[in-house]
Amino acid sequence: MTLSTESLAGTGAWIKAMVDGWAHFSEEEDKLTRVFLSPEHKACAEAVKSAMRAAGMSARIDAVGNVVGRYEAEGHEDGATSAKTLITGSHIDTVRDAGAYDGNLGVALPIACIADLDARGKRLPFAVEVIAFGDEEGVRFPTTLSGSRTIAGTIDTAVLSVTDAEGIRLDDALKHFGCDPSAIAGEARKAEDVLAFVEVHIEQGPVLESEGLPVGTVTAINGASRFAITVEGMAGHAGTVPMHLRRDALAGAAEMIAAIEQRAAAEEGLVATAGRIAAAPGAINVIPGKVTFTLDLRAPADEQRRAAVASVKEKLQAIAKRRNLELDLELLYEEGAAACHPGLIDQLDAATQRQGIRALRLPSGAGHDAMALSALCPIAMLFVRCGGGISHNPLESITGEDAETAARVFLDFLEHFDPNFRPNFR
């Protein structure tokens, strides 16, 4: 399909058709599962590479399995000299039993925008790279963001020795995919050559839908702290121990979880989840003597997250002391927030408003490849409304109208992009 050179009419349907076509590259016929370096990933990568070339880009699969498409800057079409580059893209791997648009939309939509530029014979003052990262979800191997970390130059090559559930090493899987693991270090971009990384992604939440808006500008990707929490009391007979003499670990854990929820609800941007809980001994007629539960706490600013963690710990310790319980908090994971650059935020807002849409700023509660790229260059994200805020689920959906609107905003952003936004980057 040829995109309209004037209005991008029909682009949304074109983007959706592209993503829906890629969804057929799945290891399961009746559900979408496409993991890093699988045969399905290779088939999808080849389809993405073909789409990039059809849109007017050069395209290749790099040493870590990313698909890299490049649209040269004006005056650099012969490739003899290099131009500064704006990088965009997202991931094409999925979780198991996934939705089609998580990640994949952020690859298809920029391809569509480049196709429009190419159809008009228009080049920009800078090059644009569209990258389809191969490993964002971390489903197959115990590592994530290996594709984007490679581009950022921060990948730890020790991960090449990790194995999947079948004992296959990551470096062997790369070789089978057709990649050269020894060339990974050479894929790192130089900071002075990169203008920014701008990722388009479905929101994976309900805010845009609740606001009646098709797109929004991301302010930051939330940092996260995860804990395994153990509460110990004393198991006892459910009928013989008076209430005031009990050391009920489950009742204490319930109060703690309620306190966590109350703390998060009191502060804008802060979210906290107790996603898993187990009580022992687990009998209907026995007072629980031990409970374990998890805590996932996220915020768009590290100062906010650290203060909330300290506050939650204090509240939980006070509850444990009052109930005569033992408390242990084990830190499982910690990742800092990645702030989007104010200058890029302003430019995305301006592009949104030029398309007649109210600009809305919101944080991202989920992690993205942009987090890894923040070590290389300024980052920004454009969120696209998804149905019901549902993601990582076969019910994940977008409309053709919203895809077209997002394409208009992103193309507007590219055509009006001012590279002089970043004097304060680091």
Residue 20 confidence (pLDDT): 97
Query: In this structure, is the dihedral angle defined by the CA atoms of residues 278, 282, 284 and 288, taken in order, positive or negative?
Result: negative
Separation between Cα atoms, residue 58 and residue 27, nearest integer Å: 28
Separation between Cα atoms, residue 140 and residue 370, nearest integer Å: 21
Report in angstroms the alpha-carbon separations of 291 from 227, 287, 360, 422: 14, 11, 42, 49
Separation between Cα atoms, residue 233 and residue 34, nearest integer Å: 45
Separation between Cα atoms, residue 67 and residue 148, nearest integer Å: 11
3-state secondary structure of 170: helix
Q: Where are the domains of the chain?
A: 11-221+337-415, 223-335
Alpha helix stretches (DSSP H) within 82-134: 105-119
Please choose, from the candidates 231, 54, 191, the residue with its C-alpha nearest in 3D space to the C-alpha of residue 130: 54
Q: Where does 223-335 sit in CATH, by number?
A: 3.30.70.360
Written as tens digits, the pLDDT of the chain (426 aa) is: 444 445 577 899 999 999 999 999 999 989 999 999 999 999 999 999 999 999 999 999 999 999 999 999 998 877 666 789 999 999 999 999 999 999 999 999 999 999 999 999 999 999 999 999 999 999 999 999 999 999 999 999 999 999 999 999 999 999 999 999 999 999 999 999 999 999 999 999 999 999 999 999 999 999 999 999 999 999 999 999 999 999 999 999 999 999 999 999 999 999 999 999 999 999 999 999 999 999 999 999 999 999 999 999 999 999 999 999 999 999 999 989 999 999 999 999 999 999 999 999 999 988 899 999 999 999 999 999 999 999 999 999 999 999 999 999 999 999 999 998 865 544
Residue 400 confidence (pLDDT): 96
Long-range contacts of 18-26 (CB under 8 A, 24+ apart): 18/51, 18/108, 18/111, 18/112, 19/100, 19/101, 19/104, 19/105, 19/108, 20/100, 21/47, 22/47, 22/48, 22/92, 22/100, 22/104, 22/108, 23/100, 23/104
Amino acid letter, 310? A
Residue 1 confidence (pLDDT): 43
Report in angstroms the alpha-carbon separations of 207 from 105, 210, 215, 365, 389: 18, 5, 10, 11, 8
Neighbours of 248 (CB within 10 A): 25
Separation between Cα atoms, residue 58 and residue 131, nearest integer Å: 12
Residue 83 confidence (pLDDT): 86
Q: How does strand 326-335 pair with strand 236-237?
A: unpaired
Residue 76 confidence (pLDDT): 87
The answer to whether residues 147 and 106 touch, using CB atoms and an 8 Å cutoff, is no
pLDDT tens digits along 68-81: 999 999 988 776 66
Domain 11-221+337-415 matching CATH 3.40.50.720: the answer reads: no
Residue 80 confidence (pLDDT): 64
Residue 5 confidence (pLDDT): 40
Separation between Cα atoms, residue 136 and residue 104, nearest integer Å: 11
The answer to whether residues 264 and 315 touch, using CB atoms and an 8 Å cutoff, is no
Q: How does strand 286-287 pair with strand 326-335?
A: unpaired
